[in-house]
Structure 1
Amino acid sequence: MTKFLLAVHVLAAIITIGPVTVAAGMFPAAVRRALAAPDGAGILPEVRTLHRICRVYAVIAVVVPVFGLATARSLHVLTSPWLLISIALTAAAAAVLATLVLPGQAAALAGLHGAADARSTSAVQRAAAHLGMYTGVFNLLWATVTVLMIVRPGSTTGA
């Protein structure tokens, strides 16, 4: 059963978190391209799609910690420091995504619809810059969790 739980956990992480990481990373550049093109010149649908990918896969990604906790319970490592740190970092990544990245994307997308004047264009450019930073933090948190999951410092099965 442990191998099944671990396989589902790893597959869920790859299939759900990977697309959010990539789409969130592509979003700020797509916003800047949409601002530079006359009337969004066909780029606005790309920006909407990237935001939709982030929203949908973020919801589905809830299965990652669910199966991760089930796997940890099965392996009797729920109190291991590397796991507790991973859980905290996962919660932080989820908070960054839910409170900074997704709302920032929604605001930038709304701003693109009304970016006719210089003031709103400037606000959308600032939002894109902030999104780049928030996405970087989100990606760094996930990279750290991934390393902790592989290395498992202090674990008897660690590398």
Structure 2
Amino acid sequence: MTKLLLSLHVLAAIVAVGPVTVAASMFPPAARRAAPADGTDPGPHAAGTVQLLHRICRVYAGLGVLVPVLGMATGLAMGVLGDAWLIASVVLTAVAAGTLTALVLPRQEELVAQVTERQLVDHRDTAQLAMFTGVFNLLWATVTVLMIVRPGSTTGA
């Protein structure tokens, strides 16, 4: 049962978190291209691209809830819920989720509205969004490393 839970946890992380990290990283430059400061026409698909990237982030963020749920079930089955590396991973996962829901997704929504309404996008807004996205991605990378290395593990990793 542990191997099944671990497999599902890893698959959920790849399928759910992977698309969010990629789409969120692609969003700021796409928003800049969709509303160029020089007033040139960005093309017919620019707003659609920004909307699609935001939708990917929202949908896969919802699916991402499976990752900690399956992770906790796996940790329970393995008997490691009290291990420091797992507690640190849970805390970092919560911070990453908070960063996504409080800082990344709302700013994306604002930029989608600006692009859709053909308003100029302030490049400082996209730079700030890129920073928050980078923090989100760094948190997930740290959790991934903790899951692989597992300090104190007896597996020799």
Evaluate the alpha carbon distance shift between residue 48 and residue 122 of structure 1 in structure 2; reply closer, same or farther with a 3 A threshold.
Answer: closer
| Count of aligned positions | 154
1:91 Cα deviation from its structure 2 partner? 0.2
Task: Please say if residues 32 and 121 of structure 2, whose CA atoms lie closer than 8 Å, have aligned partners that are also in contact.
Answer: no
The alignment's TM-score, normalised by the length of structure 1, stands at: 0.92
**1:62 corresponds to 2:65:** yes
Which residue in the other structure is 2:6 paired with? 6
Give the structure with the larger helix fraction: 1
> C-alpha displacement at 1:35, in angstroms?
1.2
**Alignment match, 1:112:** 115
Q: Which residue does 2:96 correspond to in 1?
A: 93
Partner of 1:131: 129
CA distance in 2, matches of 1:40, 1:132: 23
Matching of residue 33 in structure 1 with residue 2 in structure 2: no
Contact 2:12–2:64 (8 Å) recurs in 1: yes
SS in structure 2 of the partner of residue 78 of structure 1 = coil
> Does the 8 Å CA contact 1:5/1:71 hold for their aligned counterparts?
yes
Q: List 4+ stretches of structure 1 deviating above 3 A.
A: none
| Residues 1:102 and 2:105 aligned together | yes
How far does residue 39 in structure 1 lie from its aligned partner after superposition? 5.3
Name stretches of at least 5 consecutive residues in structure 2 with no aligned partner.
Answer: none
The amino acid across from 1:82 in the alignment is W
Q: CA deviation digits over 1:50-71, x for unaligned, max 9?
A: 0000000000110000000000
Query: Which residue of 79, 82, 90 maps to 1:79?
Result: 82
Aligned counterparts of 1:86 and 1:73: Cα–Cα separation in 2: 14
Kindly provide the CA deviation profile for residues 86-121 of structure 1, in whole angstroms up to 9, marking residues without a partner as x: 0000000000000000000001111123344xxxx2
125-134 vs 67-76, which moves further = 125-134
SS in structure 2 of the partner of residue 38 of structure 1: coil
- Percent sequence identity is 58
Unaligned runs of 5+ in 1: none
Structure 2 SS opposite 1:157? coil
Once the 2 structures are TM-superposed, how far is the Cα of residue 24 of structure 1 from its aligned partner?
0.1
Cα 1:72–1:158 change in 2 (3 A) is farther
Go from structure 1 to structure 2 and tell me whether the alpha carbon gap of 1:67 and 1:148 turns closer, same or farther (over 3 Å shift). Answer: same
Q: Which one of 149, 154, 157 corresponds to residue 155 of structure 2?
A: 157
Q: Is the 8 A contact 1:23 1:54 kept in 2?
A: yes
Give secondary structure in 2 for the equivalent of 1:132. Answer: helix
Q: Which amino acid aligns with 1:69?
A: M
Q: Which residue of 1 aligns with 2:144?
A: 146
